[in-house]
Chain A
């Protein structure tokens, strides 16, 4: 069935360092890949997304890359700050078909000052 694997489950970095979170999806028909940040007691907040016709997308300190052949996509955060500390979720879906988001298991990122 449809599945999204996410690694690592926890990630600790020093402020100013980079953080990378990786996901692998199983459904080759997936064409939309959003990333969400979830802070304690809050709902997931969309931070960046990428579609299958694009290999890379950047928004200030955040970038996402997609390798359709390998069915991998990754989130890159540069110059991390303490306020980046949260749980990050990747997801995959088939837009225009099922639309439902299949989520990874989450990565708890801690940025130490």
Chain B
């Protein structure tokens, strides 16, 4: 049974560029949440997708957007990258918005 997978593993971008990160949820899970983890800090909630719609959003600007596909996989898009966007981006999946969230290995984004 595959767990949560994310791609790519690492990514280097320059300021002003755009980036797309991808996530495949754990088998049987239909809800995907995205978190940003800055170095030395706990993960911060970005948004959650369920039934292909954004259900909740944390305190992140509109430069952060996402999508969920019919197979429950998800994408996180960040436009107009800033240096401060450098972080580990984590995807977590759960079953129909129940409590237990399982995390993927993350995508390390570096903005130069």
What is the interface of chain A, defined by CB distance below 8 A to chain B?
4, 6, 32, 34, 36, 41-46, 49, 51, 89, 91, 93, 95-96, 98-106
CA distance A26 to B98 in the complex (A): 22
- Asked if A106 and B99 sit within 8 Å, CB to CB, the answer is no
Please, which residues of chain A bring their CB within 8 A of the CB of B100? 34, 46, 49
* Nearest A residue (CB) for B47: A100
Binds A, one of B12-20, B36-44, B67-75, B79-87: B36-44
What is the interface of chain B, defined by CB distance below 8 A to chain A?
4, 33, 35, 40-45, 48, 55-56, 58, 90, 92, 94, 97-106
* Nearest A residue (CB) for B88: A43
**CB of B32, distance to nearest CB on chain A (Å):** 12
Return the 9 tightest CB-CB contacts between A and B, nearest first: A103-B42, A43-B103, A100-B45, A95-B99, A32-B99, A43-B105, A44-B103, A43-B106, A103-B43
- Asked if B90 and A44 sit within 8 Å, CB to CB, the answer is yes
